[in-house]
Amino acid sequence: MGATTHGNNATAARLAPQVVMSDKTSQASDKDALVRFEISDLNFYYGAKQAVFGLNLKIPKNRVTALIGPSGCGKSTFLRTLNRMNETIRNTRVVGQILLDGQDILQMDVVGLRRRVGMVFQRPNPFPKSIYENVAYGLRINGFQGRLDDLVEHSLRRAALWEEAKDYLHNSAFALSGGQQQRLCIARALAVDPEVLLLDEPCSALDPVTTAKIEELMFHLKDSCTMAIVTHNMQQAARASDFTAFMLDGKLIEHSETSKLFTTPTDPRTEAYITGRFG
Amino acid sequence: MSRMLLIWRKSLNVVMLTLTGVAAFGVVAVLFLILGYLVWNGGKSLNLDFFTQLPKPVGETGGGMANAIVGSLKLLLLAALMGLPVGLMAGVYLAEFGGKTFSYVIRYTTDLLNGVPSIVIGIFAYSLAVLPVRHFSAVAGGVALGIMVIPITVRSTEEFLRAVPGSLREGAMALGASKWRTIATVVLPAAKGGIITGVLLALARVAGETAPLLFTAFSNRFWSPGWGQPIASLPVMIYTYAIAPYDDWHRQAWAAGLVLLALVLVANIGTRVVLSRGGGGRST
Amino acid sequence: MSTSATTMDRAAPRRFDGGGPRAFLHRLGHGDEVAHVLTLTFAAGILLLTSGLVYELWVNSHLSRAKFGWLFFWTRTWDPIFDNFGAAPFIYGTLVTSIVSLVIAVPLGLAAAIFLSELAPRRMSDTISFLIDLLAAVPSVIYGLLGIFIVVPLMRTTVGPILIGSLGHVPVLGKFFKGPNYGVGFLTAGVVLAIMVVPFIISVSREVLLTVPREQREAALALGATRWEATWKVVVPWARTGILGSVFLALARALGETMAVTMVIGNDPKIAASLFAPGYTIAAVIANEFTEATGDLYLSALIELGLVLFLMTFILNGLARLLIVATERGGGHPS
């Protein structure tokens, strides 16, 4: 994330005519990062309407990848193919390949996949249960045998909610504030120890202070977790992510290190978007 | 001239708007009239004997309807056992699994069944449960009421399940819960209050049904042990006693009417108050 | 980057909605298909039950249908002793009592619905609607009870004589208000039915009226219409299809209503023009005679009456549903 890399990549980018193929960019930008998700030639359809077009992307391990783009550009749809949440929508179709640690997720058991790839949604969606039961939910349904209490505490600590919630564990989750509810949802997702955490505009319903808390949380979670975040907010992408992918009309326009994408975008459309000329 | 017209239009406005108010309050007044009359007449005739005694033989005064109260409860239990599983499961199907065409057919059929006159349901239950064994029974009455419970339960269950926000389903599925576990552990608990309300309203409605019992459960002036014999129920007793020529029976019909109405209204008011307070599981 | 096998694999679309046998078995592993099939079975049970109902009515009315054919609907005699059965008096009684009830209930219900949707403050409107819904929850046998002991005496001593004295002399209309007045009869049954169906008309009409867009009212008021004119000339016509739906719904209930009618109509299978004459309805004759129907043909004729009643309500409910759906989709306004 430093200024030094930025300088190097600026020259690299000038050499590359148009960076669409993600493998080129990510190889060029961060050789150390192992790849967690490898998406190739992904197309997605709602009925006859195509929402994602021939998308290629690598999501590196233990890094935060941000997906930005104007509303309706397909970034949320794309994110939801990564844990196959789109399957809950009728009449949808996916063509292409998504590898998670080299395994095709479309061939995987969907329940197992979703245990490994957690998700946090746009609006906090705690279950109408106690705080404790919310966090324990994923453990219970995955047949966890052992001391639930410890894991609940651990997960709440990871989500930086423990201090605020420890005295109210058995109260309804609805008693929490919006920001606390969202952190509870993160704790709930973390409880099953996912390898990847997908965040679908997790801060769009929250105030700036809470947003800052969640961004800080993401920074700490990087050690144990790979994250992909869809966001409307370019400042958030710039602050919180290591890599950024810009999507437009269902296509991936540009993908590179965050610092590079925001300072020296190679595609004129990316530049137009990040400078606020549309979207 | 145009001033006359204006006066005419304005008076028409006042008169007609007043009439609509009179109509609305008039209908509400009917409710209080019914209540008042039943409480007045029924209250006079209600005593402990009514709840504890069997009916006296024709010609003797006194006695009660203990057997009919127990009978109604037994019939409701049977109706619940037979109707609720079908209603609840079908409601879950429509809200959570249903496709387009088949669900439409089921919904339409459910509405159709809901609109079938109760006396016709009685004929159907008669041909299902009385004709084969050639005698009236509590079970036959339960079949009739159970069929009537189904459509009401289906629609209320579906409605309350649909009111559960989709984000809760997504939240559970994103944690690796399969669909049925999501339904069982998140969706159903969230809609629990509303579903129970719907069930209670359905039971309250069939509790007052008379016509389908006339030739299924029939009636009985004594206790009806077990489930295979004719059995008395409050609505049928009210009917029989009301059209009989004895003053003492009329008195008891009022008492029974008061008890039945109290049960039905308490169930209705109670559940609706709970619902309007937001305890119906429509939590966000 | 990848082998040819995976390329092929990639090209094959994966459908999420259906899935073929493999996907089916896969999901079976998590119990999803079990739950799906289980709930589907119960849902299909409703289909089976309803078709079973139609089948039983059809099969068990076979004797009567074979013997009387279409004549069943025109024959005016109902004679269990000589096994001669005609449905005409019952169909007549059912229609007359239902029409009387609508003549009373529609204006009353519509007026009340207008008050609740257009005039009453929201809180008051909700409270009154709640009370009116309670009225709909009162069991019909209780309406019958009140009918016998309140409406019948009132009709015999007060309302009947007044109507005979006034309307009885009006040409044409007069013949409906002549003849002996026993208190029981078509008019009494119609009045009791009106009280029973009015809550349905009010609650459905109110809902429909509330869906009329504000702009419609405001447009009329801005042109200088009075409140009543805006309501009657703009709001009600906009909602008329839905209101008609509520009337059909009410009619279907009135046709099928059994206990309250049985208790106040007099139970006499005659066709009489006078509304004060005792009559009989389909539902009432089934309620009264089903248990004592000794002969097979007798029972079969009663079941055929049940079939007729079923078909009448079936058609009306279907129409009502179509109309209400049409209005709620915003198609209720004049086209």
Q: CATH number of the domain at C182, please.
A: 1.10.3720.10
Q: Which residues of B touch C226 (CB under 8 A)?
A: 9-10, 12-13
Range of the domain at C31: 16-60
Q: Are residues C206 and C100 in the same domain?
A: yes
Q: Are residues C216 and C101 in the same domain?
A: yes
Q: Are residues C55 and C121 in the same domain?
A: no
Residue C135 pLDDT greater than 70, yes or no = yes
Least confident of A20-29, A211-220, A265-274: A20-29
Q: Are residues C151 and C266 in the same domain?
A: yes
Average pLDDT over residues C54-65: 94
- Is there a contact between A127 and B172 if contact means CB atoms under 8 Å apart? yes
Q: Which residues of A touch B165 (CB under 8 A)?
A: 125
Q: C231: part of which helix (H) or strand (E)?
A: none
Q: Are residues C111 and C247 in the same domain?
A: yes
B50-279: CATH, from 2.40.30.60, 3.40.50.170, 1.10.3720.10, 3.10.20.90:
1.10.3720.10
A161 located within any domain: no
Among all residues of chain B, which has the CA nearest to that of C34? B180
Given this model, what pLDDT does residue C256 score? Answer: 92
Instruction: Domain count for chain C, please give it.
Output: 2
C293 located within any domain: yes
Q: Are residues C249 and C303 in the same domain?
A: yes
Given this model, what pLDDT does residue C25 score? Answer: 53
| Closest approach of A134 to chain C, Cα-based (Å) | 22
Given this model, what pLDDT does residue C298 score? Answer: 93
Among all residues of chain C, which has the CA nearest to that of B253? C145
Instruction: Domain count for chain A, please give it.
Output: 1
What average pLDDT is seen over chain A? Answer: 84
A31 located within any domain: yes
Residue C148 pLDDT greater than 50, yes or no = yes
Among all residues of chain A, which has the CA nearest to that of B182? A141
Given this model, what pLDDT does residue B143 score? Answer: 96
C5 located within any domain: no
Query: Would you call A262 an interface residue with chain B, using a CB distance cutoff of 8 Å?
Result: no
Average pLDDT over residues C45-73: 94
Given this model, what pLDDT does residue C12 score? Answer: 40
Q: Are residues C49 and C100 in the same domain?
A: no
Nearest to A95 among C6, C13, C29 (CB): C13
Q: Are residues C161 and C283 in the same domain?
A: yes
C299 located within any domain: yes
| Closest approach of B195 to chain C, Cα-based (Å) | 16
Sequence-separated contacts (24+) of A243-246 with Cβ below 8 Å:
A243/A26, A243/A29, A243/A30, A243/A59, A243/A60, A243/A63, A243/A64, A243/A65, A243/A66, A244/A65, A244/A66, A244/A67, A244/A68, A245/A22, A245/A57, A245/A65, A245/A66, A245/A67, A245/A68, A246/A68, A246/A69, A246/A270, A246/A273, A246/A274
Given this model, what pLDDT does residue B62 score? Answer: 82
| Closest approach of B235 to chain C, Cα-based (Å) | 6
Residue C174 pLDDT greater than 90, yes or no = no
Q: Which residue has the higher pLDDT, C165 or A162?
A: A162
A18 located within any domain: yes
Query: Would you call A216 an interface residue with chain C, using a CB distance cutoff of 8 Å?
Result: no
- Is there a contact between A88 and B174 if contact means CB atoms under 8 Å apart? no
Nearest to B175 among A129, A137, A174 (CB): A137
Q: What is the CATH number of the domain that holds A227?
A: 3.40.50.300
Residue A21 pLDDT greater than 50, yes or no = no
- Is there a contact between A129 and B189 if contact means CB atoms under 8 Å apart? yes
Residues of chain B with pLDDT under 70: 1, 277-284
Query: Would you call B180 an interface residue with chain C, using a CB distance cutoff of 8 Å?
Result: yes
Mutate which of C2, C4, C9, C10 to test chain A, going by most A C-beta atoms within 10 A?
C10
Confidence of residue C217 (pLDDT cuts 50, 70, 90): confident
Average pLDDT over residues C33-53: 93
Given this model, what pLDDT does residue C27 score? Answer: 52
| Closest approach of A43 to chain C, Cα-based (Å) | 9
- Is there a contact between B215 and C291 if contact means CB atoms under 8 Å apart? yes
Average pLDDT over residues C109-115: 95
Among the listed residues C200, C211, C199, the one whose alpha carbon sits nearest the alpha carbon of residue C241:
C211
Query: Would you call A143 an interface residue with chain C, using a CB distance cutoff of 8 Å?
Result: no
Query: Would you call B109 an interface residue with chain C, using a CB distance cutoff of 8 Å?
Result: yes
| Closest approach of A115 to chain B, Cα-based (Å) | 5
**A109 by DSSP, 3-state: which?**
coil
Residues of C with CB under 8 A from a CB of A: 1-2, 6, 9-17, 26, 29-30
- Is there a contact between B167 and A137 if contact means CB atoms under 8 Å apart? no
Given this model, what pLDDT does residue A89 score? Answer: 82
pLDDT > 70: percent of chain A: 87
Given this model, what pLDDT does residue A72 score? Answer: 85
Given this model, what pLDDT does residue B239 score? Answer: 95
C66 located within any domain: no
The string of pLDDT tens digits covering residues C298-322 is: 999 999 999 999 999 999 888 888 8
User: Following CA atoms B141, B143, B146, B147 in sequence, which dihedral angle do they give, to the nearest 10 degrees?
Assistant: -120
Confidence of residue C261 (pLDDT cuts 50, 70, 90): very high
A152 located within any domain: no
Least confident of A144-148, B69-73, C273-277, C308-312: A144-148
ipTM of the complex: 0.90
Range of the domain at A95: 3-127+193-274
Number of H helices, E strands in chain A: 12, 10
C10 located within any domain: no
Average pLDDT over residues A40-62: 92
Given this model, what pLDDT does residue B1 score? Answer: 59
Confidence of residue C117 (pLDDT cuts 50, 70, 90): very high
Residue C11 pLDDT greater than 50, yes or no = no
- Is there a contact between A111 and C15 if contact means CB atoms under 8 Å apart? no
Confidence of residue A6 (pLDDT cuts 50, 70, 90): very low
A154 located within any domain: no
Confidence of residue A62 (pLDDT cuts 50, 70, 90): very high
Q: Are residues C48 and C82 in the same domain?
A: no
Q: Are residues C204 and C79 in the same domain?
A: yes
Q: Are residues C30 and C76 in the same domain?
A: no
Report the C-alpha gap between B36 and A162 in whole angstroms: 59
